[in-house]
Amino acid sequence: MKNSILLARSNLRTAKGQAAAIIVLILLASLMLNLWLMLSMDYRQNFDRYHDKLNAEHVTLTVDSGSSEMREFLAKTLKKDERTAAYSLEDSMHTVGLFTYNGGEVNSEFVFLEKEAALSRPVGTVEIVEDSRIQSGIYMPMLYQSDDIAIGKTVELSLGSKKISYQVCGFFNSVMAGSHNCTMCEFLLTEDQYEKLKASDYAPESTLCSVRLKDKMESENYEAKLKNTMSAQYPALRTVSNSYALVSQSRYISQLICAGIMSAMAFFILLIALVVIASNIVHYIQENMKNLGALKAVGYTSQQLVLSLLMQFLGVSLTAALAGIGISYTLFPSLNEMMIAQTGIPYETRFLPAAFFLTLAILGSAVALAVWLSSRSIRNVEPITALRQGVRTHSFKRNHIPLGKTNMPLHLALSMKTTFSGIKHNLTVCITMLVLSLVVVFSGLMTENMIRDTAPFINLIVGETADSCINVKAQAEQDFVRKMKDDDQVKKLYLYDSIEVRHAGGLGLMAMICDDFAKANNQELVFEGRFPKYDNEIAIAAKYAKEQKLHIGEEITITANGKKASYLISGFTQISNNLGKDCLLTRAGYERLGELQNPSYYLNLTSGTDIDEFNARVKQEMAGAVNTTINIDATVSGGVVVYVSLMKIIVIGVLMLSAIIIAFVLYLLVRTMLGSKKRDYGILKAIGFTTRQLILQTALSFMPAVTLSTAVGLTVCSFIINPLTALFLSSIGIVKSTFLVPVGFIIIAGIGLILFAFATACLLSLKIRKITPKALLAGE
Amino acid sequence: MKHVLLKTDGLSKSFSSGGALQHVLKNIDLELYEGDFTVIMGASGAGKSTLLYALSGMDTPTLGIITFGGTVISSLNQDSLALFRRKHCGFVFQQIYLIDGMSVMDNVLSAGLLLCSDKKALLEKAGKLFEAVKLPPETQNKFPTQISGGEAQRAGIVRALINQPEILFADEPTGALNSKTGLDVLGTLTAFNQQGQSVVMVTHDMRSALRGNRILYLKDGVILGECHLGVYTPDDTARHETLAAFLSEMGW
Ligand SMILES: Nc1ncnc2c1ncn2[C@@H]1O[C@H](COP(=O)(O)OP(=O)(O)OP(=O)(O)O)[C@@H](O)[C@H]1O
Ligand SMILES: [Mg+2]
């Protein structure tokens, strides 16, 4: 054991640079690994902790009525269901509304509560996270705290067609209704403001019902059943609901994406680090045949020699891993900040022993395995042959590229000879470049479809978008449509509404209703089969279909408004709005279940039209007909901005990481190569080769492997990146991704990657300057 | 009067070892002539190799000037020295120094192709040289580790001569060989010299030194004396006696 330590130390001293490069790779890997584990082992669980802390509900329902008769019925229904653990009913006001946030618009179902009442609820309480002495005003969900929405500032809410302004008194946290990702958005008003709003007719009086369940896994079913019971009993009352399952998933989408990318990067970097370690060891054994033989001759066993390597690399790796974990804790707060912008749930960074030990265990065992596998050839070193240095590990049986026959220029031919003689180096280069190709293609895909042009991403995540959405009163619909058709700012007008329906024997589904899906802007929405065309057809979310084992051509029964109708499945859709619980119906199809109350229309406007101005004009001109107008463009970009900025950081991060990785892998390879070729380079210098020629030769010798693997990697990745993306996003309901693969970007980035590798190899080979023919002759 | 190929003026070389400065070559003025087989002798550590490296542009002197033709080579930078070596000097090393990863032929061509891009002419020239050093064609496609030391050294001579250098430098070319193969190599050098090739050779060995027509004796960094022997003929006892007398005078 002691001997092995001595050996390990002497090995380390002679290979400082290599140890440094391995340290950096392992450090990056452990950094990513630990961040990933922190995100996936604790971050999401924080939601549950918060949920428990605030004794939050698993199902939330608002019913637009304050009548005691309704409340009695509701309470009876809740008590009858034995899954109910506790519930609370609260006076509230509820309406559809919007406000400006982060340059976009937040559109949601607004629920107003009186502050003190909200704070004293037994189930679904809220927590004030920031308060002031302002006596009269509004408390906003913590998520919306920003430059424009801050204590003392005034926030303007649009409620239906009315506008109302409040001074911001503070911020609060509500687990189930504290963000626009959870259907409902709560606001707390001071008592005077609450009474004032109640006296106005801006928002109807309603009942907020929060139910805690014995088993949270039941939340979706419970929600569906409760809502159905209520709408069957009170078909005229508007109800809105959400469930633990929906909220906990939708608040953590960016956490999911981030964790996914971290884990992928972590394992890629680890793979590269292992390949580098393995090729290092193989090389070390080749170079040190003589020393190893000598050690065996004086009585070292193979096991001791392997052990010394193991300790050397494990020591270096674990030290680096510790540093990486340390850095991950310093980086985590900024990641957390970005993530909170979407989750809205505060998270306090804390030390996670499980993640810590798991990171060390994963890295340690991976490194140990790599060392053990690659050092097995030590067993074959025999003391005698090694001492004679008669063993030439390279086989020179074949003369690659004979200079007398080839037409290649001399320097190219000499580099190719080097290339052919270093298969293991080539393998390292190839694996590295293949991994980095995937990174480049991924970055290209995201840059093209999410950063440069946000439309493909929006189409994938949001489904259907247009410029403006106008909700009109049922009786004025004909008039509205006629007027819009004559309006020269309107390019396209189609009915697009969403109403909750229920799959008999299954869950509640959000039905998107369109008069003619051929008019929809996003024709990719149905990716298998086709849009529903007739009144007996339906397209359903692929994720849901898969869960329920439904196929195209099958018949399913849908219920709504107490009615029932059967539909044939015409196709599968993927919309992540409701995390894969959606369906598409034609208007005629929906009308078999009931009339559309106050339909919503989507409008595409002529280019150059200001959407807000247009909406305002329509609202003014048809005051009696229009309920609400929504600037879809602004709403969507407000919601998407978080993802886009997150992705920007990720793309920049992974590209920089790629550059670092190439540099380090090449550094290692060039170093080992220069080490083994010192004599050759000395001879070549003696017979008249210049430093520049040798640097060029060295750099060129890496190029076949770099170029080939980059080309192959980029091509293959371009084909598999869309399926991979879909796989990655499958948990939010995405089954098929049709992102545009930016060929131009990828080609340019590929060439850039190759040139960067070449330039780096040249730079790293500058050490050749120090090799002198004299040093060779003097036997140094 | 013979044509001067290479000339040194006040050539000095010092090394600092452990803080102390060691003067290995001290103010050497020397002229080397075209067509000569110059032999440099001296005790171990006298500075023979150091002198040879300086003369051949492998290393730069601490002080003094070395002129080759019209060019001062002592002030050239590393890359210019490399260009100088490839054009004007051939070098045969004691340790042979062929590149293991290349066949014997490719070792020769890698030097030849630096100056001549006409592959056909080069192959022809290499063929003639291989014939002259008596290396059979099958040897040319073997790798350095697959041939004997003597064969390898003769291949080294072919590589040194492929660019038709003005001077062929050799530092104990037979040092690593047994006496039989050593004789073959010496014979090769002698034969090339007799065809007009200028040779400068460092040796320890009196039998090797007999091949030269001009013997320089180096001691403590200065050229202590020199001796002229005339054209080499085998088994020349008078030549042997002259050299022996010179060496004993020098304190050999
Ligand atoms: N790079 C160096 N640094 C320090 N001292 C050196 C260096 N090269 C040579 N020397 C010293 O210069 C002296 C002469 O060395 P050199 O190799 O020229 O001797 P030599 O005459 O060729 O001896 P040998 O017959 O043993 O080959 C020696 O004492 C040696 O230690
Ligand atoms: Mg010497």
Domain residue ranges of chain A, discontinuous segments joined by +: 1-44+254-395, 51-250, 406-461+636-780, 462-635
* CA separation, residue A386 to residues A283, A292, A383, A393, A692 (Å): 15, 8, 5, 11, 35
| Residue type at position A773 | P
| B50 Cβ inside 6 Å of ligand 1 | yes
For ligand 1, say whether the CB of B13 is within 6 Å of any of its atoms: no
Distance (Å, whole) CA B121 – CA B125:
6
For residue B187, which phi and psi values (nearest 5 degrees)? -60, -40
Is B97 close to A684, i.e. CB distance below 8 A? no
Contact A261, A339 (CB under 8 A): no
| CATH for B34-60+76-250, options being 3.30.565.10, 3.40.190.10, 3.40.50.300, 3.30.1360.120 | 3.40.50.300
For residue A172, the SS3 value is: strand
**Neighbouring residues of A349: CB distance < 8 A, sequence distance ≥ 6:** A329, A332, A333, A336
Mean pLDDT calculated for residue range B240-246? 94
pLDDT in tens, B181-211: 888 889 999 999 999 999 999 998 899 999 9
Kindly tell me if the per-residue pLDDT of A661 is higher than 80.
yes
Whether ligand 1 lies within 6 angstroms of the CB of B95 is answered as: no
Task: Give helix A353-374 / helix A253-287 axis angle, nearest 10°.
Answer: 30
Assess whether pLDDT exceeds 80 at residue A516: yes
Task: Report which ligand 1 atom has the smallest distance to the Cα of B50.
Answer: 18
DSSP 3-state of A119: helix
Range of weakest confidence among A152-156, A577-581, B42-46: A577-581
**What local confidence, expressed as pLDDT, does residue A162 receive?**
83
Interface A-B, measured as beta-carbon pairs within 8 A, has a size of 98
Q: How many Å apart are CA A647 and CA A460, to the nearest integer?
A: 15
**% of chain A with per-residue pLDDT over 70:** 94
Q: What is the domain partition of chain B in residue ranges?
A: 34-60+76-250
Q: How much is the pLDDT for A667?
A: 84
Residue B38 falls in which region: left (phi positive, over 0), alpha (psi -120 to 50) or beta: beta
* Rounded average pLDDT over A647-655: 86
Written as six digits, the tokens of A724 are 């991979």
Q: Which of B14, B28, B48, B60 is the pocket-test mutation for ligand 1 (most atoms within 8 Å of CB)?
A: B48
Q: What pLDDT score does A385 carry?
A: 54
- Tens digits of residue pLDDT in A372-423: 988 888 877 766 655 554 444 444 456 778 888 888 888 888 888 888 877 7
Q: Whose CA is nearest to atom 25 of ligand 1?
A: B44
3-state SS, residue A288: coil
Nearest CA in chain A to B84: A688
DSSP tally for chain A: helices H, then strands E: 25, 20
Strands A555-560 and A563-573: antiparallel
Tell the burial category of A91 from Cβ atoms under 10 Å away from its Cβ (0-12, 13-18, 19+): middle
CA distance A356 to A148: 39
> Which has more confidence, A155 or A224?
A155
By most ligand atoms within 8 Å of CB, the mutation choice from B11, B17, B26, B49 for ligand 1 is B49
CA-to-CA distance for A709 and A779, rounded, in angstroms? 39
- The strand pairing partners of A109, in sequence order, are A96, A184
Could you give the CA distance from residue B216 to residue B202 in angstroms, rounded to a whole number? 10
Q: What is the pLDDT of residue A393?
A: 45
Q: Under an 8 A CB cutoff, do A403 and B109 touch? A: yes
- Give dist(CA B121, CA B123) in Å, integer: 6
Question: CA A41, CA A353: separation in Å to the nearest integer?
Answer: 11
Domain A462-635 grouped into CATH 3.40.50.2020 = no
**Which of these, A533, A529, A463, lies nearest to A498 by C-alpha position?**
A463
Question: According to the model, what pLDDT value does residue A6 have?
Answer: 55
Q: Give the span between the Cα atoms of A542 and A527, in whole angstroms.
A: 9
Burial status of residue B84 (CB atoms within 10 A of its CB: 0-12, 13-18, 19 or more)? middle
Does the pLDDT of residue A294 top 60, yes or no?
A: yes
Cβ-Cβ contacts under 8 Å for A282 (sequence gap 6 or more) = A374, A377, A424
Distant-in-sequence, close-in-space partners of B235: CB < 8 Å, separation ≥ 6:
none
Q: Which protein residue's CA is at the shortest distance from atom 16 of ligand 1?
A: B47
Task: Say if CB B63 and CB B10 are below 8 A apart.
Answer: yes
Q: A110: which strand partners?
A: A95, A185
Report the complex ipTM: 0.84
CB distance B152 to ligand 1 below 6 Å: no
Tell me the per-residue pLDDT of A663-679, one tens digit each, with 9 for 90 and over. 888 888 888 788 778 88
Q: Tell me which DSSP letter residue A40 carries.
A: I
Instruction: Name B55's Cβ contacts closer than 8 Å, sequence gap at least 6.
Output: B6, B8, B32, B66, B169, B200
Cα-flanking dihedrals φ and ψ of residue A251, to 5°? Answer: -75, -10
State if residue B74 touches ligand 1 by the CB under 6 angstroms criterion.
Answer: no
Q: Using CA atoms, how far apart are residues B227 and B37, in angstroms rounded to an integer?
A: 12
Q: What are phi and psi of A93, to 5 degrees?
A: -125, 145
pLDDT at residue A686 above 80?
yes
Average pLDDT along chain A: 85
Return residues 662-681 of A near B (CB < 8 Å): 679-680
- The arithmetic mean of pLDDT across residues B139-162, rounded, is 89
pLDDT of A17 > 80? The answer is no
User: Pick the residue with more confidence: B157 or A378?
Assistant: B157
Place of tokens 């002759």: A777
Note the ligand closest to the C-alpha atom of B44: 1
Q: Which of B99, B103, B123 lies closest to A399 in CB terms?
A: B103
**Ligand 1 in contact with B15 (CB < 6 A)?**
yes
Tell me what the mean pLDDT of segment B52-57 comes to: 90
- The answer to whether residue B34 scores a pLDDT higher than 90 is yes
Q: Give the DSSP H or E segment for A240.
A: strand A239-243
The DSSP letter of residue A529 is E
- pLDDT tens for A716-751 read 999 999 998 888 777 777 778 888 999 999 999 899
- Give yes or no for residue B227 having a pLDDT over 70: yes
Alpha helices for chain B (secondary structure H): 48-55, 78-88, 104-112, 119-132, 137-140, 149-161, 179-194, 206-209, 237-250
pTM for the predicted model, two decimal places: 0.75
Give exposure, A507-545, as e/b (b: 16+ Cβ within 10 Å).
Answer: bbbbbbbbbebebbbbebbbbebebbeebbbbbbbbbbb
Distances from the Cα of B196 to the Cα of A604, B37, B231, angstroms: 94, 10, 12
Say how many C-beta atoms besides its own lie within 10 A of residue A120's C-beta.
11
Q: Say how many Å lie between the first and final Cα of chain A, rounded.
A: 33
CA angle, residues A569, A572, A575, in degrees to nearest 5: 130
Rounded mean pLDDT of A688-699?
Answer: 91
Distance CA A70, CA A61 (A): 13
Closest CA to A467 of A498, A499, A489, A497: A489
Rounded Cα gap, residues A57 and A248, in angstroms: 12
β-strands A104-114, A84-101: how paired?
antiparallel
Q: What number of other Cβ atoms are within 10 A of residue B83's Cβ?
A: 16
Q: Give the list of residues 6+ apart from residue A501 with CB closer than 8 angstroms, or none.
A: A508, A509, A510, A511, A558, A559, A560, A583, A585, A590, A593
Minimum CA–CA partner of B99 in chain A: A680
**CA–CA separation, A72 and A53 (whole Å):** 28
Look up tokens 């005003």; give the residue. A137
Q: What is the DSSP letter of B223?
A: E
DSSP code of residue A126: -
pLDDT of residue A755: 94
